[in-house]
Structure 1
Amino acid sequence: MSELTSPDRSRPDACPGALQVHQAADGALSRARLPGGAISPAQLQALADASRDLAGGEIELTSRGNVQLRAVTDPAAFAARLAAVRLLPSATHERVRNILATPLSGRVGGFVDVRGWVADVDAGLCADPDLADLPGRVLFTLDDGRGDVTALRGDIGLHAVTPTEIALVLAGADHGVRLRPDDGVTALLGAARVLREIRGSRWRLHEIEDGPAAVVQRLGLSATAEVIELAAPATTGPIGWIDQPDGGVTLAAGLRFGVLPARLADFLVAVDRPITVTPWRSVLLHDLTEDMAEQVVRVLAPMGLIFDADSPWLQVSACAGQPGCAKSLTDVRADAVRAVETETLPAEGRQHWAGCERRCGRPRGAVTDVVATDDGYRVDPPAR
């Protein structure tokens, strides 16, 4: 049961945070966790100000619904600013607060409102000293039943099957374990403790042979339902105008390469409505009136927010490339921009531009790889 099946993780997990930063070619990379992707206007303003004062003036959105700054000149000062707006509530647990949640939950669709689960999971993680030992790669998912974040294949998750029945998802799959909604968070935190006990040098639950079975057994649970097949990962999250049943509007907007310039962040802050960062590197503005939503689209679309679901920019992702990464062979983002603007993309559909064979930042699912080599770009179509 404890036999390990994936390549040995002999080096420590170096996933960056606000306190443990990554030293890139262009300086320190500092990352802030946003459980459930939620961020208040005041918190976003603090990030925008920090990006101008301490970094390159941009906020990068990550595939885990978090945010990061590149070329940070003073990581300690950045961490202090995060703590001042409660984006760094625990110095010991900051890197394990990787909690994805359905971005529209509680506003549009879904069987349950998972926002309360987000707060309870985050509080439970931070309250247990032992869970600080979990690797920064561990991912928790809280899905209201539509399947959007469960499809991203986290380590431990809750997935609403009906309004009164929850699946415990392990290593990105259903194993037939069913819970009452009120018992879900307790089971998830228990599974996290089991993962800590059995992981050895591994970072992810799927890397442990029979890891999900070990979790189920140690928690005293059992399969009581037929296993459900989970959805394939979506290439993009919601985009555009979304009517809320309460009469409000959510606007969902993409960004080129998931990069939010500080000036554009200032305008989002000025709208003064709840904001969600998604794992598709997009942003959602919630609870708008129709007049407010129309004004946001009119003003912010020309500034870079993408409200068109058919935009080619939503099909193109890229690693940091030069000058941010010393391993990159070229400035892949500049090359990708030229390809989009001149309509010379090398493939149709989802594509990821990478400066080397590591292909950092590659999204899940069927993606064409456009990989820089010494002889130019090589195009690798999705595996069949």
Structure 2
Amino acid sequence: MLAAMPDSAPSPLSAGGASPRDGGAARATRRDGGDACPGTLRLHRADDGALARVRIPGGVLSADRAEALLTAAARFGDGELHLTSRGNVQLRGLGTECGGELAGLLTAAGLLPSAAHERARNIVASPLAGLDGSGGLGAWLTELDRLVCGSPAAAALSGRFLFALDDGRGDVDALGADVTLIAEGPAGAGAALLRIGAADEVFRVPAAEAPRAAMRAAEEFLRAARDSGAWRVKDLPDDVRAELVTTIGSASGPAVARPRPRTATPPTPGPLGSAITADVPLGRLTPTQWQLLTDTARRYGGELRLTPWRGIVIPGPVPRPEASEALRTLSASGLITAPDSPWTGVGACIGHPGCAKSLSDVRAEAGAAVGVPGRLPVYWSGCERRCGHPHGEWIDVVATPDGHRISHVRGERRDARTTVRNDPARLAAAVAESRAL
């Protein structure tokens, strides 16, 4: 089925969410229309063809499944693969009648284990878990995905509802998930912390029960949202959200004060212990780059991890001399393999001409403005929806009818805005100055 919808979920900074300008609490949002978030069985009609979003729980992808995605992109789409801010993969330029064949290919590859739950499998996980002295999250990820796919109720979750599995470093805890599990101690041994939405308190649960506690929380959300039409925890009326947290807490362990981190820290591109990390300019991978990453992963353990910051971790182990050579090869293909790349921290939505709502070709504009890496990430949006924007502190560049508006965002607040009109050189200079703050 092909359903018309926005390219991705409206940003929390757009109408209907918390307003960064007033710094107030999130307002309740009622969704009157059906959830049209795309998947692999429900494609989205974009200006460059149909779009499919393939959920990759935890961003964990075997080399064989990566090959299947490349085959799908080449056979049905424009050949490129696009990483999302949830570590998923989008295929673009699809023919409108390819849905059945695409689903068959992905099912055969193990990428579509449940047709009823394919859009509900939104799980992000700390991409460095188990690689730099932290505990692994593989058991939690496998079990939570199994529980989601096995829950009849979970099939009703919005395609925007998000689970996060954090190994304790706070990286994905900062992403604003609806249900977050935080490991305490190595591999979450002994206990885990359960957070509902942006609540400042968490509930301690046994580590072995953590995935089931997360699934119960999601099912409890569905009951709480029945009358409100909310798709996410932040959309609930304040009193309903507070009651939800209390209800889940009563079925969990003791409450612990732990405010959610404001800023996520993505992996630094380059070598990392026995692993290697590369970022993807604007999240867009050519067939050659994807094949190169897949071949590299196949030589060293056969796994890739897609990050919520549009990067890829190859866990390895990769011997140090070979890591340097692998990174040089990846860099030569156009990937980001060092933190001093001009592309570090630069992101953008698909923009014009791929999206009909975009007022500008923001990807080309972002490329024209790259320069010395700034302290802050920058995200270019073609319209006020700001699809795929980062979290925490960042520079927000939005195309408007009056020019490009530049703002400094800190969590739920933003500074006074500057607008640059029809002057590429001045725009690049203003963005660079803002990123250096």
State the TM-score, normalized to the length of structure 1.
0.91
* 1:204 is the counterpart of 2:204: no
Aligned equivalents of 1:52 and 1:291: distance in 2? 33
Give distance in 2, aligned partners of 1:300 and 1:218: 46
CA contact (8 A) 1:275 1:283 kept: yes
* Matched-pair identity in %: 39
1:276 equivalent to 2:305? Answer yes
SS in 1 for 2:309: coil
CA distance, structure 2, for counterparts of residue 222 and residue 33 of structure 1: 29
Moved more, 92-101 or 177-186: 177-186
3-state SS, counterpart of residue 256 of structure 2? coil
* Aligned ranges 1:104-119 → 2 under 5 Å: 104-110=128-134, 112-119=135-142
SS at match of 1:96: coil
Mapped partners of 2:163, 2:147: distance in 1 = 13
Residue 137 of structure 1 and its aligned partner are, at CA, apart by 0.8
CA distance in structure 1 between the aligned counterparts of 2:41 and 2:171, rounded to whole angstroms: 30
CA RMSD of aligned residues (A): 2.1
3-state DSSP of counterpart to 2:397: strand
Aligned to 1:84: 108
Deviation of the 1:223 alpha carbon: 6.0
Deviations along 1:305-347, whole A, 9 cap, x unmatched?
A: 211113231221111111101111221111211121xx499x8
User: In the alignment, is residue 19 of structure 1 matched against residue 19 of structure 2?
Assistant: no
1:133–1:229 Cα change, 3 Å? same
* Deviation string, structure 1 residues 198-243 (Cα, Å, up to 9, x no partner): 1121011122224254244257436624312332222533321111
Output one character per residue of 1:135-162: Cα deviation in whole Å (capped at 9) or x when no partner: 1111001111111111112011211233
Q: Structure 1, residues 87-146: CA drift from partner, whole Å, max 9, x if none?
A: 111100000000111111122232x32111000000011111121011111100111111
**Residues 102 and 348 of structure 1: CA distance in aligned 2, closer, same or farther (over 3 Å):** closer
Q: Which residue of 2 aligns with 1:246?
A: none
397, 400, 403: which is aligned to 1:373? 400
Between the aligned partners of 1:113 and 1:213, the Cα distance in structure 2 is 33
Unpaired runs of at least 5, structure 1 = 244-248
Give the number of equivalent residue pairs: 372
Gaps of 5+ in 2: 1-25, 416-437
1:159 to 170, 182, 193: 182
Counterpart for residue 386 of structure 2: 359
Q: Which residue identity is paired with 2:234?
A: H
CA contact (8 A) 2:195 2:201 kept: yes
Does structure 2 conserve the Cα–Cα contact (< 8 Å) formed by 1:22 and 1:28? yes
Using the TM superposition, give the Cα deviation of residue 349 of structure 1 relative to its aligned residue in structure 2, in angstroms.
Answer: 2.8
Q: Which runs of 4+ in 1 moved over 4 A?
A: none
Which range moves more in the overlay, 252-261 or 367-376?
367-376
One-letter identity of the residue aligned with 2:133: G
Q: Whole-Å Cα distance in 1 between the matches of residues 80 and 269 of structure 2?
A: 22
Alpha-carbon deviation of 1:24?
A: 0.9
1:255 corresponding residue in structure 2: 280
Q: Counterpart in 2 of 1:334?
A: 364
Q: In structure 1, what residue type is equivalent to 2:377?
A: R
Q: Which residue of 2 aligns with 1:182?
A: 208
What SS does the aligned partner of 2:344 have? helix
Closer, same or farther: CA 360–242 of 1 in aligned 2, 3 Å: same
Secondary structure of 2:87's partner?
A: coil
Please state if 1:294 is matched with 2:324.
Answer: yes
8 Å contact from structure 1 (residues 28, 75) kept in 2: no
Following TM superposition, by how much is the alpha carbon of 1:83 offset from its aligned partner in structure 2, in angstroms?
1.0
Aligned to 2:337: 307
Residue 169 of structure 1 pairs with residue 169 of structure 2: no
**CA distance in structure 2 between the partners assigned to 1:141 and 1:212 by the alignment:** 20
Contact 2:163–2:179 (CA under 8 A) maintained in structure 1:
yes
Asked if the contact 2:58/2:125 (under 8 Å) is kept, the reply is yes
